[in-house]
Amino acid sequence: MKKLFLIAFVLVCISGFSQTKITLNTDLAKTKINKHIYGHFAEHLGRCIYGGMYIGESNTKIPNTAGVRNDVIQALKELKVPNLRWPGGCFADAYQWKDGIGPKANRPKMVNVWWGGVTEDNSFGTHDFLDLCERIGAEPYLAGNVGSGSVKDLADWVSYVNQPTGSPMSDLRIQNGRKEPWNVKIWGVGNEAWGCGGNMTAEYYANIYRQYATFMKDITPESKLYKVASGASSDDFNWTETLMKNIPHSQMSALALHHYSVLSWVETKGPSVGFSESTYFKTMQEAWKMEEFVTKHSTIMDKYDPEKKIDLIVDEWGGWYDTDAEGKGALYQQNTMRDAMIAGLTLNIFNNHADRVRGANLAQIVNVLQAVILTNEEKMLLTPTFHVMKMYNVHQDATLVPMTIESPTYEFSGKKLTAVSSSASKDASGALNISITNIDYRKSHEITISLRGEDFSKVSGQILASSNISDHNTFEQPNKVSVKDFSGTKLEKGVLKLSIPAYSVLVLTLKK
């Protein structure tokens, strides 16, 4: 009898340690989750632009609008893409925008020196990109060429897209078929200035930034410029400190940050499919580092900008693996449930830091890195990452609900990671949306959510889960990994109870 009691006591203790406890204070919600956290990125890289989004106006096999695939346009509308960053990336600091305007037959060719040395014909340029953004309802985010361009080049680009009439650049735009300006607000002043953008020191870039920003003028109230400084890579905290100290805050709207969940920059990055648990755990370690980096870079920014007027924009993030041999393009990789874990975890981090993180861009949108869309000739599929981004778009411009969370750990080879992450928000209708990601490779976790401040009577949910961490969608099985309705919740007296499977993403919606 005594032995049975001890066994029961041990089981209770083990069960207690596996519980995730979340407390939500809905009446304390006040910080807006900026919709631009859910931005995307399209670079002239591999098959992202040519053969991915853009197939050309003469293509009769694939339905398109002005050369852009209609199925891609529809998918991006479903995602509610708030902003799209273009033309790079490293490519931005080699791009000459004037070569991509005017009659397409007259445009000069260029060699993409950063990505494979391929020759491009400049048939996808400024008009094509900005018109696409209008079609999908996204704000364009133009990355300016600071590394190999000139101040005048960038100032002319601003004038070309934003000046209504009366300037040489506005006359040129009108001559090229666009009467009304696009009023582009978001501008990157270079990209990765510490690396492919010029291998600059932080001090040198700060001075260069000041010069470029001076000549990038607000032309109309509708096109007041939002200038993004080229920020740090991962844990380069000195870069952030130097820029915050040396760039006048009146000249800078935001500071960028880049961090990829990559195993190594100098050795193998591992396969996109068929990876081991060891590789998976290391990828999750890198994904969780986003919490540390956002926190520490924000702390530095707080030192110089305590009122949080300057935004932190994580305009490159995602998983990076070895290029798939069958990908037919640089940095093509499959997208599995592991990528869904990166997306769910990272977006929870961004949401919970919404007081400083006010924008981000997943890398990249089609056929490159952690893509939401993959294409192959006439075929197209939506990846697990697409489904997470769509599930989470309920948080766009909603109000962050403060939470406390106690999570069990995911353990592997003597190391530990927090298994469950979460974020929550209230939308304009008063509905409460809770997103939860369980990165644990083996275990489901019981979750108890205490709701404080308001009463809710109805709960619904959607879940992305699969039987294997390497599961992914293929052109033969495009719906192998898909979103399902989730009904495994119990709501009683302000307490919500559920179980979330291993490596799965869940979004719950509660209404009164």
Q: What's residue 220's pLDDT?
A: 83
Average pLDDT, the chain: 94
Contacts of 243 (CB under 8 A, 6+ apart): 202, 205, 206, 209, 229, 231, 252, 255
* pLDDT computed for residue 403 by the predictor: 95
Cα–Cα distance list, 210 to 100, 165, 428, 464, 501 (Å): 27, 27, 39, 45, 50
Region 155-177 average pLDDT: 97
CB of 303 closer than 8 Å to CB of 285? no
Task: Say whether 503 sits in a helix, a strand or coil.
Answer: coil
Write down the pLDDT at residue 328.
76
* pLDDT one-digit tens code per residue, 458-469: 999 999 999 999
Q: Is 80 exceeded by the pLDDT of residue 15?
A: no
Q: Lowest mean pLDDT of 265-269, 337-341, 406-410, name the range.
A: 265-269
| CA 3 from centre of chain | 53
What is the mean pLDDT of the segment spanning 271-281? 97
> Confidence band (pLDDT; 50, 70, 90) for 18?
low
Counting Cα atoms < 13 Å in the Cβ hemisphere of 464 gives: 34
Contacts of 264 (CB under 8 A, 6+ apart): none
At residue 184, what is the residue type? V
Residue reference for tokens 């300057």: 310
Q: What are the catalytic residues?
A: 192, 316
CA distance 136 to 78: 9
Q: Does the pLDDT of residue 493 top 50, yes or no?
A: yes
Query: For 439-478, what is each residue's pLDDT tens digit?
Result: 999 999 999 999 999 999 999 999 999 999 999 999 999 9
Q: What is the pLDDT of residues 221-270, one digit of tens each?
A: 888 999 999 999 999 999 999 999 999 999 999 999 999 999 999 989 99
Q: For residue 461, what are the β-bridge partners?
A: 508
What average pLDDT does the segment 67-81 reach? 98
- Angle (nearest 5°) at CA 72 between 70 and 53: 100
Q: Is the pLDDT of residue 4 over 90?
A: no
Q: Which residue has the higher pLDDT, 306 or 17?
A: 306
Residue of 374, 368, 354 whose CA lies nearest to 474: 374
Q: Could you give the CA distance from residue 213 to residue 229 in angstroms, rounded to a whole number? A: 9
Pairing mode, strands 409-412 and 403-406: unpaired
Q: Mean pLDDT over residues 140-158, rounded? A: 98
Dump pLDDT digits (tens) for 359-396.
Answer: 999 999 999 999 999 999 999 999 999 999 999 999 99
This prediction's pTM: 0.94
pLDDT grade, residue 6 (50/70/90)? Answer: very low
pLDDT at 5: 31
What Rg do the C-alpha atoms of the chain give, in angstroms? 23
